[in-house]
Structure 1
């Protein structure tokens, strides 16, 4: 079963991928190819909707950190949407909420002005 969905809102630089369930060793391995495909198709501006993600482990955190550095090298960025519960606690405890732009909803991402 897929644990992600992809949205391609118009008039925004961001591609949006929604994650569900857990972002752990198994899920991170399954996400590698879809993430690379999405970045190739849409460019280096990626927003991950974490509102339906209930758990993240060190592998998932490592994936986010590697991904943001990779996207910024390509003059893009990684944003997070709606992290909550255990996921938000881990991101705060590791001080990673300062590393990523964090939006409350997909609508907030879509409203973010395109890059010049």
Structure 2
């Protein structure tokens, strides 16, 4: 289970990653994260993260077709957001390597 404390640290990263391949509207990002296992992520957390990314210049938004409902606000990565994602990607892989080096060694010690 992904705890709220774990989520707090990775949410900005996974929100950026969720926009790496395609533009998306907020609820689609939320659903993608929940389907991936971030079941405890709340609407306000995702929308707040998107707003912070917008304020930082990492994403921009536009109104797009909402199908049969009202227009939806879609988010897309800016060039600065793509650069930030590339920098975070390097740091993320370093973190995964470091955790992986500790976790297998500790797994045999857990009763």
TM over 0.5: no
Q: More helix by proportion, 1 or 2?
A: 2
Give the TM-score normalised by the residue count of structure 2.
Answer: 0.28
Q: More strand by proportion, 1 or 2?
A: 1
